[in-house]
Amino acid sequence: MTVFQQYIHIRTAATIAIVSVHHLWCALSFLMMSLILVVSAKAQEEVVENSDNLRLTNGINFFTSDSAMMLTLRFRMQNQASLESQSARDLSIKDAQFTIRRVRMRMNGFVVSPQLTYLLQLGFSRSDTDFENSGFFNVLRDAMIVYRVQPNLHFGIGQGKLPGNRERVISSGEQQFIDRSIVNRTFNLDRDVGINAYYSHTFGDTPSLHPRLSVRLAVATGMGRSPAPRISDKFLYAARLSFFPLGNFSNNGDYYVSDLAFEKSPKFYIAAAAARNDNALRSGGTIGTTLFEARSMDNFFIDGIFKYAGFSFYGEYARRFMAQPLSSDGTSIRAAFAGDGLNLQAGYFVAENWEVSARYSSVEPVPEVKPFLNGQTQYTLCLTRFLNGHRVKVQGDLTYNILRTLPAEQASWIARFQVELGL
């Protein structure tokens, strides 16, 4: 057998193995969903005589008869269509897509005691699995166990979102626009595996009126979701400090931007976050392509939300510092995005359940990185019809997209339409 024939056999075997793993993941995911549905159906049969054990509020909630355990099941999907023009002047179609943007199942609740809580979230769409960068179909998004010492103090261990910019912490299903900004896409810390802590303090007896200060801390692998084991004393360290001078938002309103609660008095917060990722192996720290050499990076964020009477404003500034943003294998170069970004967006309810919003987003790499990664600016106008808050909504947006390539800029129009449906 020739060397070429051996290579073909090896490559064929590897392809079969990858496809088999993919099919195995799909089978296991389908089996898990089937088991959940069976258990849910059985639970519904058992609680017919005692309807207090089943509630349909923010998902399907199941309680044991002694209220020692609780399970909440939720799902959601985002179905999207998009068009991009050849250029700002040539409106012929360059790219057209029909996409199942996200399909997710979420389970959360408590066991033994309401103080011991958990969160498990799975993602099944192609964009959720990160196959292109991680090399395997990664359906696991969150797997967190949290112990709540007090309502304002808790500790967690497992996989979940890191305390970085607020736009990333806000669920993708509760965004003001069809998707997050290019600033978030470039600089966010995303998810990782580790430990975290949260503490908040209200300076008074009325949380909705008196100032509040909160802090989140995390130590994680720095390698992202479901990382491969590695022996190292280098980790990711993150901290976020938030201040609410006029008291809490209504209905946890700092975890979504649109003023769905129509705040009766002005509310806002200001926050700062910082993260150090020692010896990161990916271009975005916990996300992105694999670098040829490990690099340390520092991320900084400042963000805030203001809401009042149906009007909302969100602003965010991000900055990433790196001593050596370029890595090489001797023949080619891979770059991490060192630079800064600014995102500003505002929305207003022009009628009941109808919101118009506008956004400006821009990212700019440092000069050393510009030959390899482009700067970008987007202006976006969005119209949203809320049918059941963020659970069920229809959105359409139009973006003027400017890509600062060398030697000249390229501009185009992007139109998107999306339906969000979930429990």
SS3 for 87? coil
Q: 319 φ, ψ to 5°?
A: -145, 135
* pTM (two decimals): 0.85
Q: Which two tokens stand for residue 388?
A: 């059941």
DSSP 175-242: -SSSS--HHHHHH---EEEEEEEEEEEESSS-TTTS-EEEEEEEEE-SS-SSPPP---S--EEEEEEE
Residuewise pLDDT in 10s, the chain (423 residues): 554 444 344 444 444 444 344 444 444 454 444 444 444 444 444 444 445 566 666 788 888 888 889 999 999 999 999 999 999 999 999 999 999 999 999 999 999 899 999 999 999 988 888 777 767 788 999 999 999 999 999 999 999 999 999 999 999 999 999 999 999 999 999 999 999 999 999 999 999 999 999 999 999 999 998 777 766 778 999 999 999 999 999 999 999 999 999 999 999 999 999 999 998 989 999 998 889 999 999 999 999 999 999 999 999 999 999 999 999 998 999 999 999 999 999 999 999 999 999 999 999 999 999 999 999 999 999 999 999 999 999 999 999 999 998 888 999 999 999 999 998
* Separation of alpha carbons 316 and 319, rounded Å: 10
Helical (H) or strand (E) element with 168 = helix 166-169
Question: Are 167 and 314 in contact, with CB atoms under 8 Å apart?
Answer: yes
- Termini Cα distance of the chain: 58
